Amino acid sequence: MDSQSGDIAIPERTASAAVPPSAAPVGRPAPASVAAAPKGNPALVESTPDPPVNRLRRNIVWATIAGFLTTCFLMFVRFFLPRAIFEPSTIFKIGFPSDYALGVDTKWQQQYRIWVAKTSDRLFVIYARCTHLGCTPDWKASENKFKCPCHGSGYDSEGINFEGPAPRPMDRAHVEVDPEGQIVVDTNRLFKWPKGEKNEFNEDNAYLPL
């Protein structure tokens, strides 16, 4: 109290007076001193790689499944493909008459099942099938005959049977000469000589005259 003026002096509030935390304005962030401390990073968990044995088994299983599916697909495709048997043509060329010497030529036996026989006056083609049960005889050059390995039937150099169970001579194929002079053979057209019946070996295209 001032003794001279008679007024009562009011003490001034200092600027440094602390404001209690409860008096802080709503909505403002709390001071950094009271902020929550950041949490630490969680520990990383590493997975253990598969052992080689498990990896190998997995590869085998997948390979088996893939193989099975591939097989099924191929069977499915094959179902729609034509079931045809591919055989060599019955009509083919064998060269010129001058390409053959007198006697029996066996170079076409494996490919076309024929022999080319040439005499002094004709050339003809013998179909290499035994008339007994259909086996393929062998040409025995040292004995000048054909011998069937199945049941012993024998034929001379012209395919005429003379021993064994063969009932008749071997058949001869149709032959002709094309415009170029080559021999054309058709094994789908055969000339026969059944026992006691007509001999077809002297008909046209049963041989080529020389």
Tell me, yes or no, whether 197 lies in a domain: yes
pLDDT, residue 6, reads 47
What range defines the domain where residue 167 resides? 100-209
Residue scoring higher pLDDT (26 or 193): 193
Q: Who contacts 12 (Cβ-Cβ below 8 Å, separation ≥6)?
A: none
The candidate with the shortest Cα–Cα distance to 119, out of 141, 100, 103, is 103
Residue scoring higher pLDDT (76 or 155): 155
| Count of structural domains, the chain | 1
Question: For the chain, how big is the Rg over CA atoms in Å?
Answer: 54
The domain that contains 117 carries what CATH number?
A: 2.102.10.10
Q: What is the pLDDT of residues 89-106, one digit of tens each?
A: 899 999 999 999 999 999
Tell me, yes or no, whether 86 lies in a domain: no
How many Cβ atoms from other residues are within 10 Å of residue 171's Cβ?
Answer: 21
pLDDT, residue 95, reads 97
Tell me, yes or no, whether 56 lies in a domain: no
